Amino acid sequence: MSGGSLLIDNIGSLVTNDPALGRGMLGLVEDAALVVEDGVVIWAGPRQRIPEGAARERVDAEGRAVIPGFVDSHAHLVFAGDRTREFEARMSGRPYTAGGIRTTVAATRAATDDELRANLRRLVAEALRSGTTTVECKSGYGLTVEDEARSLRLAAEQADEVTYLGAHVVPPEYAGKPDTYVDLVCGEMLDACAPHARWIDVFCDRGAFDGDQTRAILAAGKERGLVPRVHAGQLGPGPGVAIAVELGAASADHVTHLSDADVEALAAGETVATLLPGAEFSTRSPYPDARRLIDAGATVALAADCNPGSSFTTNIPFCIALAVRDMNMTPAEAVWAATMGGARALRRTDVGRLAPGARADLVLLDAPSPIHLSYRPGVPLVAQVWKSGTPLLP
């Protein structure tokens, strides 16, 4: 319906994420309606005030909740292979390390474009069925000039945002020569990849890249017009958050292990703290303390971190439930973080909200309130998804 007008009426609870339109941080409007024109929200508010002649098509929400489509700002979707045995071993007591990434690198290099494309499409479609309408996708499982560039080209076919992650780990052929690999990432690989990406990312953690390497890679990316993002503090304390804030990164992701200085820096700066509870769930690791970040004044996002090794899920409602249960977030904070927080992490103003001027990416829940996303964990509550005003589910 992106080329016409649409009225979604009889909404039990409408999340606008605009406090000027409704109650609390979610801008919640009860007994609400929403009007879409040419794929954009043009009106939202109480249904008693629907503008005359608002739309040609009417959808009855039957008292159910409508929320913005989820904005997943951290995903690794271009890969081949399977790490079931690694997961089983980890659940039997073996700790998670960054080294398993190399298993996926070998499988991804051996895969054809069509094989990678088919898996990518499957995962994006899977995410859509659970309400994700905007997805970021990283490279990082090629780690050669050719394979990183093709990963980004494939990602751009399906993802809304594309990130160059040549600095995921040091590949086996550069074992013992990490600085030589960093030179490649900053040079020939960056030259091949920069035209296909908006963002540049580095896994700054033990077993991956140290602070000096991270700073050099991100600085090189910035010189080519890419905006930094950082994997920081997943496996232990480190310099990742400080570097992210220093270089104006849009987001520092994972941030499980934070010093007081890290928290203060995130609260004082523009870098979003993106939390990825699927990784902690799948690695039996301590969850980040979202309450500590929120109370300090940091902006927090939630993302799925879909990848075959440490968080093989595309399901944002699952992550919302984990955030409420295990990360000390309120239901409203978790919904905001998975919508508007994700948009902030991608520096987008057109998604993550349902106020006039926003893209009409929205989700109809088979529930009267968005609280049910954490109240009813594991239940498939997504009844319909619209992207730019077009319904996408059967």
* Beta-bridge mates of residue 135: 72
For residue 202, the 8-state DSSP code is: E
* 307 carries a ligand binding annotation: yes
Q: Which of 64, 16, 104, 50 is nearest to 382 (CA)?
A: 64
Confidence (pTM): 0.96
Handedness of CA 212, 215, 218, 219 (dihedral sign): negative
Q: Provide the pLDDT for residue 98.
A: 53
Q: Are strands 227-232 and 251-254 parallel, antiparallel or unpaired?
A: parallel
Q: Provide the pLDDT for residue 89.
A: 87
Q: Which of 12, 8, 1 is nearest to 366 (CA)?
A: 12
Neighbours of 115 (CB within 10 A): 13
* 119 carries a ligand binding annotation: no
**Pairwise CA distance, residues 392 & 87, whole Å:** 33
* 158 carries a ligand binding annotation: no
Q: Are strands 57-60 and 5-14 parallel, antiparallel or unpaired?
A: parallel
**Pairwise CA distance, residues 394 & 385, whole Å:** 10
Query: Do the beta carbons of residue 7 and residue 55 sit within 8 Å?
Result: yes
* 83 carries a ligand binding annotation: yes
Q: Provide the pLDDT for residue 1.
A: 43
For residue 83, the 8-state DSSP code is: -
Tell me the two tokens of residue 115: 């094989």
Query: Do the beta carbons of residue 217 and residue 244 sit within 8 Å?
Result: no
* 254 carries a ligand binding annotation: no
**Pairwise CA distance, residues 378 & 173, whole Å:** 42
* 48 carries a ligand binding annotation: no
**Pairwise CA distance, residues 75 & 303, whole Å:** 8
Handedness of CA 337, 334, 77, 256 (dihedral sign): positive
Residue 231 makes CB contacts below 8 A (sequence gap 6+) with 201, 202, 203, 204, 205, 208, 240, 253, 254
Amino acid at 253: D
Dihedral angle at the C-alpha atoms of 123, 330, 358, 198, nearest 10 degrees? -50
Q: Provide the pLDDT for residue 99.
A: 61
Tell me the two tokens of residue 284: 């039996």
* 196 carries a ligand binding annotation: no
**Pairwise CA distance, residues 343 & 120, whole Å:** 22
Q: Provide the pLDDT for residue 85.
A: 86
- Could you say which residues of the chain have pLDDT below 50? 1-2
* 305 carries a ligand binding annotation: yes
Query: Do the beta carbons of residue 147 and residue 156 sit within 8 Å?
Result: no
Size of the chain, expressed as the number of residues it contains: 394
**Pairwise CA distance, residues 14 & 22, whole Å:** 9
**Pairwise CA distance, residues 8 & 386, whole Å:** 11
* 375 carries a ligand binding annotation: no
Q: Is 10 helix (H, G, I), strand (E, B) or coil?
A: strand
Sheet holding 300-302, edge to edge: 70-72, 132-138, 161-167, 199-204, 227-232, 251-254, 272-275, 300-302
pLDDT digit string (tens) for 311-354? 999 999 999 999 999 999 999 999 999 999 999 999 999 999 99
* Beta-bridge mates of residue 307: 311
